[in-house]
């Protein structure tokens, strides 16, 4: 009579290892986006610097990606960050036009007035182009011709209706957080958007844009 063979050992099931969660702005709210800039050392010391941070969510039309860099260079010591619902709505054109306007400062750094002027001029050009394409293109009109002869050509009611439609369709629907140093190493923080132009937040030492700007500023 033989002895029973021993049972094989029960297989050991490895315990799952919990991965450390890496927090992102999406943990603060679905679809939230935020860009932050802060001046260090009061903007006056030898180690003066501007620290920037942002999420990487970029949206265009019905698509989005979380691998985009939101910073773009404007001039040697100036950059801008983007927040908006759709980057195809004209904000890239604003950045491109402003960069061309500041190209003369290839070696020196433009001042805050020059940067504001470049951004506002580029924003106005993009808005005019969008309005002309969407509203005036079927009539083979430009903006200047419309403002001079549009009321007589279309009548007051239609003229005002077209003007309101142009105001709506010309919006860039984005924010730009512009930061940098002038030729004297003086820092500046600007926020540029539709209807309000470029506001100066330098004295506050920090600013944020995007749908999460309220939480970011509260924490700062």
Q: Is the pLDDT of residue 210 over 60?
A: yes
- Strand-by-strand arrangement of the 35-40 sheet: 49-54, 35-40, 206-209
List C-alpha distances in Å: 183 to 65, 96, 170: 36, 22, 34
DSSP summary character for residue 163: H
- Give the percent of the chain with pLDDT over 90: 50
The whole-angstrom separation of Cα 205 and Cα 33 is 21
The whole-angstrom separation of Cα 67 and Cα 95 is 20
pLDDT digit string (tens) for 170-179? 999 889 999 9
Q: Is the pLDDT of residue 125 over 80?
A: yes
pLDDT digit string (tens) for 90-105? 889 999 999 999 998 8
Say what the alpha-carbon torsion angle 33, 39, 40, 44 is, to the nearest 10 degrees.
Answer: 170
pLDDT digit string (tens) for 27-44? 544 456 889 999 987 656
């Amino acid at each position: 009579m033989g002895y029973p063979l021993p049972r094989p050992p029960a297989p050991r099931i490895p315990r799952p290892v919990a991965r450390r969660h890496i927090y992102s702005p999406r943990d603060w709210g679905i679809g939230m986006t935020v860009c932050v800039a802060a001046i260090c050392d009061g903007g006056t010391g030898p180690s003066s610097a501007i620290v920037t941070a942002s999420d990487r969510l970029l949206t265009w039309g019905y698509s989005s990606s979380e691998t985009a860099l939101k910073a773009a260079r404007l001039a040697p010591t100036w950059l801008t960050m983007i927040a908006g619902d759709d980057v195809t709505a004209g904000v890239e054109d604003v950045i491109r036009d402003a960069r061309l306007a500041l190209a003369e400062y290839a070696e020196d750094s433009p001042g805050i007035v020059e940067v504001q002027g470049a951004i506002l001029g580029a924003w106005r050009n993009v808005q005019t182009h969008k309005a002309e394409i969407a509203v005036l293109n079927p009539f083979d009109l430009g903006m200047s011709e419309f403002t001079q002869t549009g009321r007589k050509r279309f009548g007051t009611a239609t003229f005002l209706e077209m003007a309101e439609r142009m105001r709506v369709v010309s919006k860039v629907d984005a924010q730009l957080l512009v930061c940098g140093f002038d030729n004297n190493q003086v820092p500046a923080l600007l926020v540029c958007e539709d209807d309000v132009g470029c506001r100066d937040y330098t004295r506050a030492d920090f600013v944020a844009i995007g749908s999460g700007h309220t939480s970011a500023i509260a924490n700062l």
